[in-house]
Amino acid sequence: MLLAVLIDLYSFVVVGAVVIAWMQVPPSHQVATVIRTLTEPLLAPIRSVLPTIGGLDFSPIVLLTGLQVVRSLLL
């Protein structure tokens, strides 16, 4: 199913955003800009509701979990 494949691809992009954040890639880097542009529309609303705990941002985990729930409902 095409939508399931797109959800999987987007999940990889979200993981890429996490890796870029850990590696502290400069915001001006082209790859970081593209990934941030793709992920921020879904991560920002989650961040506004979910507080950071001990300086850790758990919004990617929530987003990845939500994507997998949607994917499993489709299949």
Per-residue pLDDT reduced to its tens digit, 12-65: 999 999 999 999 888 889 999 999 999 999 999 999 999 888 888 899 999 999
* Interatomic CA distance for residues 31 and 6, integer angstroms: 19
Domain that holds residue 63: 2-74
pTM of the model: 0.88
Tell me how many domains the chain contains: 1
Determine contact, residues 27/33, Cβ cutoff 8 Å: yes
Question: What confidence score (pLDDT) does residue 24 get?
Answer: 87
Burial class (CB in 10 A: 0-12, 13-18, 19+), 44: exposed
